[in-house]
Structure 1
Amino acid sequence: MERKLLLQELHPALVHMPLALLPTAAVADLVVVRTGDRAWEKVGRRLWVVGAASAVFAGVSGLAASKEVRMNAPRARELTFVHGMGNALITAGALGLMAWRQARPPTVLTTVLGLTACASALVTAALSGRMVYEQGIGITPMPQNAPQGSVKEPPLLSREAPVALLKDAGRGAAWLMSWARTPR
């Protein structure tokens, strides 16, 4: 029996792009700052565009995935919140650096900011590993009484998937913001 790619599986499939492209953009900027090589300036500028765009797609799919899984344990919700909010901040920073780089060459400050954001992305990526391997978030199939696992699973290439992606991404963003405002 052939298994179809599920909507919640789009996020782990997309996250590798920004995790590879954004550090490459930051390193290209570092080369420019250290050597003055103008050819790398153009490479970095283009990498910031593609890397930031891929971070947006990974983020939207992550917000949707957060509504496609079950997270009943407080630790699971905490990890998911820190992962999501951290990546939202990193994506906002990548978009800001991308906008800056469209009109200007890299500076020492923007290069350090870019490298710091990339190091922060490694932390949020490690949190996602804990979410899956320690907490079992998104593991399919899970027994219905498990505190974490999958809730629903529209096939990625189904008619339902685009609507579910946007609806669940909106619900995921609302959950992230409400969790940020909730005292613990």
Structure 2
Amino acid sequence: MPMCVQEVHPAIAHFPVALLPTAVAADLIGRLTDNNALMEVGRQLMPVAAASVAATGIAGFAAQEAVRTRDVSHDLLVTHRTLNIGLLALSVGLAAVRARSRRPSAGYLLAGLAGAALVTYSGYLGGRMVYAHGVGVDPADGVEHERAPEMPRNGFRRAARTAADNVGQALRHTAHDTAEGKITPRFQERASTRSEPAAG
């Protein structure tokens, strides 16, 4: 069965969801038990986790332009994207810090646990887009077909060009949304709902 551009992101999204918490868990357990082998696993795994976050993010940008979102699902997408940009910065920072130290510090472990929570919550938001709102689901009219070529039926070259174009378009949309203050609209919406006085 041929794969479409927007299907690459969910196909590889499990790598950061698994690798980042595993790297942190290995370091945490290694530090608590003074197990150098486990701490070395954590140290070696964190750059792999950061690379998987980057690859999944690029695939996410390509997917963003191939799917249809409206209202709540668009807010979910923007929030998911923003959290993942933050997760990329955090995971690259964690990998850089960990590469320079034989043992993980308490601050590193706390930041790593925050990253593990962030990747889990962001994955949940991605799942909500698909399962609650049909984003990217063809029978739910959630696909922009002209921006979602099948591979290899339409050729890898065309799919790669479309994916690169989608990433560029997604970066422009990200800059536009950020300039308009749409950084985490799902959080902003909930905060404004809580602050509204009750009617009656």
Following TM superposition, by how much is the alpha carbon of 1:141 offset from its aligned partner in structure 2, in angstroms?
3.8
Q: Is residue 2:2 matched to residue 1:7?
A: no
1:82 counterpart = 2:79? yes
Q: Are 1:119 and 2:112 counterparts? A: no
Cα RMSD of the aligned pairs, angstroms, is 1.4
For 1:103 and 1:77, how far apart are their aligned partners in 2? 40
Return the alpha-carbon distance in structure 2 between the equivalents of residues 80 and 18 of structure 1: 18
Q: How does 1:1-184 map to 2 (within 5 A)?
A: 3-71=1-69, 73-104=70-101, 105-143=103-141, 149-152=142-145, 153-157=148-152, 158=155, 159-183=157-181
Could you list the per-position Cα deviations for residues 92-113 of structure 1 after superposition, in whole angstroms to 9, with x for gaps in the alignment? 1001101111111311110111
Q: Which moved more, 1:14-23 or 1:169-178?
A: 169-178
Q: State the identity as a percent.
A: 33
SS across alignment from 1:126: helix
In 2, Cα distance between the equivalents of 1:182 and 1:90? 22
Report the Cα offset of residue 114 of structure 1.
0.5
TM-score (norm 2): 0.83
Note the residue ranges of structure 1 that are not aligned, 5 or more in a row. 144-148
Amino acid at match of 2:144: V
* Cα deviation, residue 183, structure 1: 4.2
Deviations 1:55-94 (A, max 9, x none): 11100000110000112x2211110000011011011100
CA contact (8 A) 2:31 2:39 kept: no
How far residue 142 of structure 1 moved from its aligned partner, in angstroms, is 4.2
Q: Residues 16 and 119 of structure 2 are in contact (CA less than 8 Å); yes or no, is this contact kept in structure 1?
A: no
Q: Which moved more, 1:76-85 or 1:40-49?
A: 40-49
**Structure 1 residue 173 displacement after superposition:** 2.0
Given that residues 137 and 143 in structure 2 are in contact (C-alpha distance below 8 angstroms), is that contact kept between their aligned partners in structure 1? yes
TM-score normalised by structure 1 residue count: 0.90
Q: How many residues in Structure 1 have an aligned counterpart in Structure 2?
A: 176
**What letter matches 2:54 in structure 1?**
V
1:32 and 1:106 in contact (8 A); partners too: no
Q: Which stretches of structure 1, 4 residues or more, deviate above 6 A after TM superposition?
A: none
User: In structure 2, do the counterparts of structure 1 residues 45 and 156 end up closer, same or farther at CA, with 3 Å as the change threshold?
Assistant: farther
